[in-house]
Amino acid sequence: MDKDKKKKTNKSSHSVLRSLKVVALFLLVFIGASVFVKSDMLNAISNPVKGEILPTSTPIPEKEPEIITESEMPADAVTPAQAPTETPKSSAVPTPSAKPKEITPYSGSGTSPKYKRESHHYGVSYTFPDGFNLESTLYIKVVINAQLIYVYRRDAKGNPTSCIRTIIMSSGVDRGSNATPLGKYMIFDNNANGAGKGRWVDFKTTFGQYGTRLFYITSLQNNKMTGYFTGYMMHSELYRKTDPTSLIVDEYNTIGYPRSHGCMRMQVKDALWIYQNAHTGSIVEITDGSPNTALWKKLRPANLVSGTKYDPTDPAGGAANPGYISFPPSIVNKATATPAVTATPVPAPVQTPTPNITEEPVQTPQPTSEPTPESTD
């Protein structure tokens, strides 16, 4: 029995020993492998192979980030260069505003009709007084194809001399029923009926300032003028009422282009100047003529914005009065002594009765489809 116990003890000792040997062998293999790996790594560090990446403390991603080309980049994407500092909005180049529509100069080439008497154009006659000096009057040339007016002084014989003023205007809108008719006309100062000149001109639905009426000339000789009252006038642009703050801006902005029903519209400064300076005996000649683009551009006023109340040249709105032209005192005195024409069918004293004048064959009344108010805009 003791012998059996002894045998069992020896067997257990041998098993433990074998286990220790196995553990010792495993440790030797592990240590040997560790030494090999460490040696290999040291060798790689001291002798790196081209193309290898040395280990760093920052982990390297397994896949490089995708690069987006500029053409592929969304419009609202932020590039790395933009990310650190955002460009201030103020540094952006502003988009230029739309340029105002360029104004095209008027250049006409048509032919206007000559004056034809209308049914309400009654006859007038006037005899200039002795000593009347034609140097106190003006010669005004209206050029339809240029939309311009040239104002000249006159010599003692009535011939035009130096040009003292140029005016841009709007004449009749067409060469037909609304034309500004060709011919020679005379200006007369105010009279009892207001036919010669008017502070305000009534066109039924609109109004004009500083109207100067044109009287068509059928004959001018031996200090005597015979002709007809007409509805054609020189006046300002249009207003909604007899108030200088009621300017119709859209009409003002047509200055320089045919627009009226036969009258000659212009800025207030020019209408007032003619109203003040073109006295009895002044001649207005309306012609087709030729364009003058350079002068048109020089005189054409800038368009007004909607809501503007005054013509910017109107003294009522604070502009300077265009004033009177300077005539020698002797001429002015003679001019102011000139009586006004009688704006009725009754002839002036010692004159041939006007019915004989109005019945001249060359002035046969012509039918018209247009309304015939006293003043035609």
Bridge partners of 227, per DSSP, are 124, 217
DSSP string, 134-165: GGGSEEEEEETTTTEEEEEEE-TTS-EEEEEE
pLDDT value at position 69? 41
Find where tokens 């196995």 sit: 22
Backbone region of residue 277 per phi and psi (left: phi > 0; alpha: psi in -120 to 50; beta: other values) = alpha
pLDDT value at position 233? 96
**Cβ burial, residue 137 (10 Å; 0-12/13-18/19+):** buried
pLDDT value at position 329? 52
**CB-facing half-sphere around the CA of 228: CA atoms within 13 A:** 24
pTM: 0.65
Pair type for strands 148-154 and 264-266? unpaired
**SS3 string of 14-27?**
HHHHHHHHHHHHHH
pLDDT value at position 47? 52
Where do the structural domains in the chain lie, given as residue ranges?
123-363
Q: What is the dihedral of CA 27, 33, 36, 42, to 10 degrees?
A: -90
Domain 123-363: assigned CATH number: 2.40.440.10
Compute the distance between CA of residue 260 and CA of residue 113 in angstroms, rounded to an integer.
Answer: 15
pLDDT value at position 16? 67
pLDDT one digit per residue (tens) for the chain, 377 residues = 555 555 556 666 667 677 777 777 777 767 766 655 555 555 554 555 444 444 444 444 444 444 444 444 444 444 444 445 555 555 555 555 545 567 899 999 999 999 999 999 999 999 999 999 999 999 999 999 999 999 999 999 999 999 999 999 999 999 999 999 999 999 999 764 457 999 999 999 999 999 999 999 999 998 999 999 999 999 999 999 999 999 999 999 999 999 999 999 999 999 999 999 999 999 999 999 999 999 999 999 999 999 999 999 999 999 988 887 766 555 543 433 334 444 444 344 344 343 333 333 333 333 333 333 456 78
pLDDT value at position 113? 96
Compute the distance between CA of residue 371 and CA of residue 367 in angstroms, rounded to an integer.
Answer: 11
C-alpha dist (Å) from residue 24 to 13, 27, 29, 121: 16, 5, 9, 143
Question: Would you state the structure tokens that stand for residue 229, as one six-digit string?
Answer: 């009252």
